[in-house]
Structure 1
Amino acid sequence: MLYDAHDDPEGATRGDLLAAYAEELAGVVAEFGVDGTVEATGLDRGTVEAIAAGEVADVRLADAATVLALVEDASPEDLAFEVRDHLMMEMVTAILDVDTIAANIEPDLTGQEVQQAIEGRTRLTLGELAAIQALVAERKG
């Protein structure tokens, strides 16, 4: 799962996490092939090709979950919910609120945008997820 894709998520940087996400997702695409992944998921070819190439920063969590659902025993919606839920629990442990996260990550998001993304009310890219996850890990450490 994306939240534990890196061997040491507690000490991982945003770049480390993105590389781990890319490896996990590219492995699924390699297993099914680009054409097979497009056919099985209904995602657009450009998104699947980006994943295959390891370019996942702009891939939405919902699309990543759709790819992971090919090999996981859960729906894409459940997988995305699990990632967001795990992230919220980690935020509580690190004693971080959405405004603090927004002030300390790149990309430039407002606290409201961070909250909406974590709650699943707006898009959350893997680049944003990695930035948030890295900050949470840093603050917990």
Structure 2
Amino acid sequence: MLADEIQDPEALTPGEVRAEYEAALASVVEAAGVDAVAEATGVEDTRLEELLDGGSPEFTVEEAAAVLAVSDDRPDAEALLLEVRDNLMLQMSSAVMDVDALASGLDGDLDPKEIQQKIEGRQPMTLAEYARIYRHIASENPY
């Protein structure tokens, strides 16, 4: 889900991409129940309830992967994270984009070193940051 291709990145804002991710998270929480997801993931039940109520609580990509992994039809959280990170790097390569170009395309609020660390998993990345980064890479990718 998090690594699925964005079909028409130019038609979506980063906020809309994030909303799609949040809708997928909410469907897992709704199906499994707040208590079960909180227990399995360590994510606070208040944030899960806020998500179900249509809010937009902050999640890291790691937390989002853990929530998605609660679903029986998804791989475990670690496999999802590896897929996300690999996909980001492959998409950057396909778009012939390095972290300097990516930082420039994101209007400079994240520096290249931060972006590199977030993509590699050495620094936490919020779901909002991921949506912005992934959408921008997709919009620059000719394929």
TM over 0.5: yes
CA–CA distance in structure 2, aligned partners of residues 24 and 106 of structure 1: 28
Aligned pairs for 1:1-141 within 5 A: 1-4=1-4, 8=7, 10-11=9-10, 12-52=12-52, 53-56=54-57, 58-71=58-71, 72-105=73-106, 108-141=109-142
CA–CA distance in structure 1, aligned partners of residues 63 and 5 of structure 2: 16
- 1:9 and 1:17 in contact (8 A); partners too: no
Q: What amino acid is the match of 1:104? A: G
TM-score normalised per structure 2: 0.85
Give 1:31 deviation, angstroms. 0.6
User: Given the superposition, is the C-alpha separation of residues 50 and 90 from structure 1 closer, same or farther in structure 2, using an over 3 Å criterion?
Assistant: farther
In the TM superposition, what whole-angstrom CA distance separates every residue of 1:9-61 from its partner, at most 9, and x where no partner exists? 544321221111011111001111212211222222233234333415x3100
CA–CA distance in structure 1, aligned partners of residues 5 and 31 of structure 2: 17
Task: Give unmatched runs, 5+ long, in structure 2.
Answer: none
User: Given the superposition, is the C-alpha separation of residues 51 and 5 from structure 1 closer, same or farther in structure 2, using an over 3 Å criterion?
Assistant: farther
Task: Give unmatched runs, 5+ long, in structure 1.
Answer: none
Whichever structure has more helix as a proportion of its residues is 1
Aligned residues: 139
In the TM superposition, what whole-angstrom CA distance separates every residue of 1:55-109 from its partner, at most 9, and x where no partner exists? 15x3100000000111144221111111111111001111111111112216811
CA–CA distance in structure 2, aligned partners of residues 106 and 44 of structure 1: 32
Give me the identity figure in percent.
39
- Segments ≥4 residues shifted beyond 3 Å: 9-12
TM-score normalised per structure 1: 0.87
Q: What amino acid is the match of 1:108? A: D
Comparing 37-46 with 112-121, greater Cα deviation is found at: 37-46
User: Given the superposition, is the C-alpha separation of residues 73 and 14 from structure 1 closer, same or farther in structure 2, using an over 3 Å criterion?
Assistant: closer
Q: What amino acid is the match of 2:64? A: A
CA–CA distance in structure 1, aligned partners of residues 45 and 56 of structure 2: 13
